[in-house]
Amino acid sequence: MTVWAAAAQEPGLQLARGVGDHLPGTVLALTAALLFGLGSVLQHEAAARVAVDGRLPVRAMLRQRTWLLGQAATTAGTGAQVAALALAPVSLVQPLLAGALVAALAVRTVRTAIPPTRVEVVGAGLTVAGIAVFVAAARPGPAALDRSPAGWAVVAAVVGVTLAVALTARLGAGPGAALACGVTGGLAAGVAAVLVAAGLTVVSAAGVAAALGRPEVWGAVVAGVVSQVGAQQAYGRGSLNASLPALAVLDPLAAVPAARLLLGEHLEPGHAVVWGPAGLVAVLGIVLLTRSGGPSQRPGAAVRR
């Protein structure tokens, strides 16, 4: 039983919904964001070296130590994300993961030895501030304990994101293609997170054996793999500034409403006047980071090896 679901079941116990009430899940989500930021930079470096017209030769990728290290960081981040989803609502965890973009900026700055531009600093500040105010004011509530996504809804969501990623994978190279692949990869990641949360609820309530027979568990596996394929395609088609912001924005934008529709999670409606603008501030910060131009596009931006 997850911490927040158990709290909801206790009679007479006030439901804990603030960030401080989900501190372990919050810390794990932030850890996942740091690992995803590191992994995205390393994978992008490797993909940029071996990509040919937007296509990624698998064997060449596997021979890249940087790509393997990036995959290891991403895998560790996924583990931290799953643990966070077991302890906190999707609507809290996924917005925090948008901090991966700021983490990637820091990692990229260290590896290129080029300080961030003023626009990047402002963008990073707005992103962090917007996310912090959003999760503090939205106070995401837990999923309804008696609600699980219908099988047809799970299949429709997984098929939808799979087709979207497959279609954008046919695009060539360039910023537009990187953006499109980032959008579909982010959508798949958001759907995967919601299905992971649903699967964890089944495991806590009925055990692993019962969970293996549920569509949300297998849907989470498929959507997770599809999101990784979408991310890799995005990294190989353009600069990190063209792909990672889309991945960072579309993930929570897909996860929060999907968690509301499929799991019954909700945000604090009375505080919408605060968390709504805060979310827009975070998006503005991400847009600034997108428009700034990465180090790989500036003179002397060679990665230190």
φ/ψ of 52, rounded to 5, equals: -125, 110
What percent of the chain is predicted at pLDDT more than 70?
76
Query: Residues 82-120: pLDDT tens digits?
Result: 888 888 888 788 888 888 888 888 888 888 888 888 888
For residues 85 and 79, give the distance between their C-alpha atoms in angstroms, rounded to a whole number.
10
Structural tokens at position 245: 């912001």
pLDDT at residue 15 tops 50: no
* pTM beyond cutoff 0.85: no
- Residue ranges per domain, the chain? 17-292
CB 240 within 8 A of CB 41: yes
Query: Residues 18-44: pLDDT tens digits?
Result: 555 677 888 998 999 899 889 888 877
Burial class, 128, CB count within 10 angstroms (exposed 0-12 / middle 13-18 / buried 19+): middle
Structural tokens at position 206: 């009925």
Give the closest residue to 141 by CA, choosing from 282, 275, 284, 280.
Answer: 275
